[in-house]
Every structure is written in C-alpha cells, then in structure tokens.
Chains A and B, each alone.
Chain A
Amino acid sequence: MQSIELARRARISALTMCSTSGASHIGAALSVIDILAVLYGHVADVAPHRTDDPARDIVLVSKGHSASGVYAVLAHAGYLPLEWLDDYYLDGSHLGGHVTAHGNPGVELSTGALGHALPFGVGRALTDKLDGVDRRVFVVLSDGECAEGSNWEAALMAAHHSLGNVTVVIDRNRLQILGRTEDVLGLEPFADKWRAFGWEVDEIDGHDHVQLTEALRVRSDRPRAIVANTTKGKGVDFMEDKVEWHTLVPTADHLALALAQLQTNTTEVQA
C-alpha cells in the first residue's frame, strides 16, 4: 500500500477509535500520521514479519499520546491485527491510550511520559556503533515535548559521538495542551537550536510524503533532525490547528463529519 493511502486509512481508524472509546489526543494523532506512514511504509527498514530481526531499523515514537495514530498505522501496515483497533482504549484491550510495547509487534518502546525516547534511541544507536551494526534509529518527537531537558541532554550526546545513525523527526505543529508552543514556552529559532547542538537539520512540510521520504532517506555522518512542519488535527477541517482537539473526544456527529472529509478526499499521487 502506498504511504498516502496508508495515512488516509490510519486517519479514518484513529478518528473512529477515539470516538468510539472516548479517548483524547486525536489532534496529536492526525498530526503525526503522515510521518509514521512514510517511516513504516517505506523508509525504515522494518517489516511485520521481522519485528525481532536484530538488523531491523528502530522506530521510536516519543509522543506516546498519539497512540491511536501509531496503532492505526501499524495495523494498516500489517503489524497488528486490524480488529485490535476496535477495542482500543477499552477494557481488556491490547492497546492502551499511550504507545505500549508489551505484546504489540512493531512498537519498540512504551512511551507516554514525554522526553524519554531520544535518550533511549541514543542508547540503541551508541550500542550499534560499538558493535559495528549498520542500522538506523528514528525518533519521532513532538514540539511541546522539546521543552523537556532530557531531549537536549541526549542531543548533546548524539552529536558528541557523531551518531549519523540517529534521525529525529519533530512533529512541529506549534500546539501543545494549553496553547501555542510559542506562547507557552517559545522554541524558536527551533531549527537553529538543533544546528547549534551539532545536528544536521532539514525543514520540510510534514504532510508531504515526497518531502518526508527524501529528507528521511538522507544519510549523514552526523545526527539529523527533520523539523516537519505539520498541522495538529490534519485532514479534518474543524480540528485543524485547534488546541482543544488535543483533549476533546469526537462525538458520533463529529466522527461522521470527519469521515466524510477523509472519504471524499481524492488521494494525491504517490512519488
């Protein structure tokens, strides 16, 4: 399946999952789904039949609250049974409201407390470097999350050890829970911060699968940070760039409206 279609299906599933189960965070999921679809779809060297392969690439999603989007992408990409999505967040489910590794193939790290995946990823990458293993570690961060010092401590380490095997993608949607990132705790000049920490930086449209693919495929002898400019709630007009859709749960009416938009959207041509 092409990544654009993967993302479209994942959006439909994530919306349905949050609405039927009463879960928050749909805005965060819609924001990151294109990044995940490109990573799991065709950039990362991963596949459903080799989730234990020691040579596989490692994909870590630090913004664990985007779980509905992560699980939806994984299910439509063949990692998880599609029917597991039906009881997301409900009693007895495999799939909780934050990204959970336990029992879920394709998930490398349980997240939910922000600011954990980059240090963990640097640990995996350093070990690979010591062992001479040539594989890549991708870490997906949110932007509000970049207020956590742990990210910058790990960023120092990755640059210090020239970890060209580490690629960070930041879902730069400019919103967090209580407001805009630049109003709460400004991050700008954001790309320059990563550069100053010794990282190679790309700034792209985080919903454009061609740009994502190209930026993610680049290899370097330094760690790379891709600032993916995104829209929180992407794909559903009344959720786009609206802070409240971090927390609100889509009602049945919201869901119907949202699905209508996603079902009529003609899929763009995949690169």
Chain B
Amino acid sequence: MRDAFVKKLNEKAADDPNIMLLVGDLGFGVVADFGDTYPKQFLNCGVAEQSMVGIAAGMAASGRRPFVYSIANFPTLRPLEQIRNDICYHGLSVTIVSVGAGLAYGSLGYTHHAVEDISILRSLPGMRVFSPADALECNAAVDEILATPGPAYLRLGKNREPLVNPTQPDLSRGEPILIRDGSDVTLIAAGPIITQALEVAENLVASGVSVRVVSCPVIKPLNAEAIRSVAEGTVGIVTLEEHTILGGFGSAVLEGFAVRGWRTPILPLGLEDAATHIMGSQEWIRERAGLATPYVQQRVATFAEENA
C-alpha cells in the first residue's frame, strides 16, 4: 500500500507542482524515486516530526499541498499539537500519511504500533480520516483528499495487502463499499484487517451464518446513512479495526447512529485498553490480542444469533 501511495502521488505531482512530499527520514527504497523525479517537491525534514509538520503547515499557507510521510506514531502523535493548532485550527490543506496501521510493525514493539491514531486524529476539527483496505482504496483516498481542501489523515497498511476491490472505488460521498454479500449480519472493517473479515465470512458459511462484508475507508466524515443502508436487512453491525476499542472506527459508527436515534445493534471489535508487551508478528499479536479470525468469528456468530 505504501508503494501504491508513493506511485499515486508521483502521478499527481506531475500535474500539480504544488504537491510536496515531506518525509521524516523514513521510506528507504520507497520515496527515493519521488525525490529524484521531483527534487523541488521533496524534502527530508530529518528526525524532527514536530518541525516537519509545522513546516508543512507553513508551506500549505504559502499555497503548497504538502503530504507528510512517516511511519507508526511519528507523524501523528509526536507532532500532535502542530497538527491541531497549525493545521486544523487554520484549516490548512496538509495530509498526514502514516505507514504501518495497527500492528503491522508487530515485532518492532509497542512504540511502533499505531493503535490509537484513529481516535485521536478524528477528534481534531475538520480532519478527514481515511483508512484504506487495499491499494485501490488508497488511490481513491488520495484522489478524494486532493479533490477537497482541508486537513486529512491517511492511515496506510504496510505493503502487499491483497486487493479486495475489483476496481478503484469512488470515495467522494464517503460511502462504505460492499465487498461480499450476505444476509444475516454485516461485518464492517476499516483498513487491511478486512482480509480477516472475509475469512470470518467464509468460515461461517459452514455454520449457516451469512456474513455481509463491508469496507469503510472513510472514517471521517462518516457517512452514517450509507452505513445504515449497506447493513439493511441484516440483524446488525459488527465493526472490526486493528486499533483500540476506545474512540476508534467502532466508536465513530456508534456515535453516528446514537445521535440520529437509530437503534441498530452494533458490536465494536478492536484492541483492549492495554499496551501490548507481546513480541511477535502482526498475526501473532492479533491472535493474542483477541483479533484473530477464530475469536472474531465466534463474536460475530454469537452476535448474529442473539439479535436474530
């Protein structure tokens, strides 16, 4: 997904000399092409994320369209106040891009797990939040970000996520995307963890539970109406995200429904409120953190049964 992102930005930068790529000394083997092709639109800001985001805001105020690129929590939590005050307060068109959504950097440890970013970033005024599931959704997110002014956050997986979309979806209305139809329960994932949602759906066929799998790459502004209609005819919605359960995608859906007085049953699944001390790959930690397929499957089946 990160390669898709840089490739996409490369194409866009050809038409728009205002596009800038700022990196925090990250992207070895990934960003060099961009820098070589557009030396005046590329800047390595060094290991200094607060400065980098402030610089991006200044450039945006001067008419540029900066994308700030780093991994994990470095472009989000580290320079959070610069994002809030310099970018959001002034409504500037800066896009924050972070690679390594959720537990993608598993064995690098908790410092490198991006598991609170959705909650925190979506609480900032005017900040749009995109969590694509595959390269096609990533491309669509970049198109959408550039089509509309204002701050944006693009939460990327790592690389080589399987494609779940047949073609590039249209994200202009923030609508969720039906990936696999089903009639009993709707399972909506935000991000590359959609592959697990698809496994769950496949595995539950044998138990007679028909799962509708939906991808929701636009977390903010959340299109609650479209989410309600995509779930129509099923008993309710289970949300799935590789992110803390506190304030993330599931919370966004719950809020969206609650403020409208809709009583659709919703079960948010995500990570517990705890720093993980487990070392291992993404798969390994998912298993131990209650996000592995068998566990999610169990929860979805029970939810479907209880609300039938």
Contact = CB atoms under 8 A, between A and B. Distances in A.
Interface string B41-63: 00011111011000000000000
Interface of A: 21, 23, 64, 89-98, 100, 102-103, 110-115, 144-145, 147-149, 176-179, 184-185, 244, 246-247
B50 A103 contact: no
B121 to A, nearest CB: 17
Nearest to B278: A92
Given A147-B47, A148-B47, A246-B28, A92 B111 contact: no
Contact of A96 (B27, B74, B78, B109): B109
B179 interface: no
Interface of B: 23, 25-29, 31-32, 44-48, 50-51, 72-74, 78, 107-112, 277-281, 284
Most A-side CB within 10 Å, residue of B47, B50, B74, B107: B47
B189 to A, nearest CB: 24
Given A91-B284, A144-B25, A184-B44, A149 B50 contact: yes
A93 B78 contact: no
A177 B50 CA distance: 18
A92 B47 contact: no
Contact of B25 (A89, A110, A113, A184): A184
Nearest to B284: A91
A248 B142 CA distance: 29
A176 B279 contact: no
Contact of A149 (B23, B28, B51, B278): B51
A113 B281 contact: no
Main secondary structure of the interface of A (DSSP, over half): loop
A147 B28 contact: no
A145 B47 CA distance: 6
A253 to B, nearest CB: 20
9 contacts: A90-B107, A91-B284, A94-B279, A98-B109, A102-B277, A114-B47, A149-B48, A184-B46, A185-B48
Most A-side CB within 10 Å, residue of B25, B27, B73, B277: B25
B28 A178 contact: yes
A148 B44 contact: no
Contacts of A96: 107-109, 279
A23 B109 CA distance: 12
B107 A97 contact: yes
B68 to A, nearest CB: 15
Contact of A64 (B29, B107, B111, B280): B111
Nearest to B285: A91
B46 A113 contact: no
Given A89-B279, A110-B111, 5 more contacts: A89-B107, A90-B279, A91-B279, A94-B279, A185-B45
Nearest to A89: B107
A162 B82 CA distance: 31
B178 to A, nearest CB: 35
Contact of A100 (B32, B109, B280, B281): B109
A92 to B, nearest CB: 6
